[in-house]
């Protein structure tokens, strides 16, 4: 079973707008779309924060993807994204029953962002949980990675 997942895009710019107001914005770094499912705990959020902070996908002097966010002074724009758990295998309208309810997902999303800030020293901007958001992503590369944590056992 797949637990917490994130779609990570290396960006030269990212922003989130809600009702015409910019609520989060970064320059170089990652836009991280975060999905929370049933059974996710702080353990999964810790794992995901470590993976995001440690990813080496920025180019070094030789042009190889070898540098992390901290190495390049990058930031994170984190956006809660329940649709990462959309299941469109049957029919044409996706089911979102695998997405955790807001009362579970919101605290874990906040915990994930806090871990990036406090334990990994990263600047983190966010969208507004549960709001209709317009997300601007200037994907750099393009580089896009899907991180998923498998349930133990």
Using CB atoms within 10 Å of the CB of residue 40, give its burial: 0 to 12 exposed, 13 to 18 middle, 19+ buried.
buried
* C-beta of residue 150 within 8 angstroms of C-beta of residue 3: yes
9 included as an active-site residue: no
* C-beta of residue 48 within 8 angstroms of C-beta of residue 82: no
43 included as an active-site residue: no
17 included as an active-site residue: no
Beta bridge pairs of residue 125: 77
Cα angle, residue 45 at apex, residues 41 and 51 outer, rounded to 5°: 145
Nearest by Cα to 99 from 82, 87, 112, 111: 82
Residue in 82, 109, 112, 126 annotated catalytic:
82
Residue in 41, 83, 134, 144 annotated catalytic:
83
Residue in 9, 17, 37, 81 annotated catalytic:
81
Q: How many Å apart are CA 108 and CA 124, to the nearest integer?
A: 15
Which of the residues are catalytic? 81-83
């Amino acid at each position: 079973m797949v637990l917490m997942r994130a779609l990570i895009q290396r960006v030269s710019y990212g922003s989130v707008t809600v009702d015409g107001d910019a609520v989060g914005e970064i320059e170089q770094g990652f836009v991280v779309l975060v999905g929370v499912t049933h059974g996710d705990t702080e353990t999964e959020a810790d794992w995901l924060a470590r993976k995001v902070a440690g990813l080496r996908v920025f180019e070094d002097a030789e042009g190889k993807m070898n540098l992390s966010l901290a190495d390049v002074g990058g930031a994170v724009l984190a956006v809660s994204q329940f649709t990462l758990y959309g299941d469109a295998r049957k029919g044409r309208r996706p089911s979102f029953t695998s997405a955790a309810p807001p009362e579970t997902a919101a605290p874990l999303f906040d915990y994930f962002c806090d871990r990036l800030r406090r334990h990994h020293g990263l600047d983190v901007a966010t969208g507004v949980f549960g709001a209709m958001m317009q997300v601007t992503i200037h994907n750099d590369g393009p580089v896009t990675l899907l991180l998923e944590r498998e349930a133990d056992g």
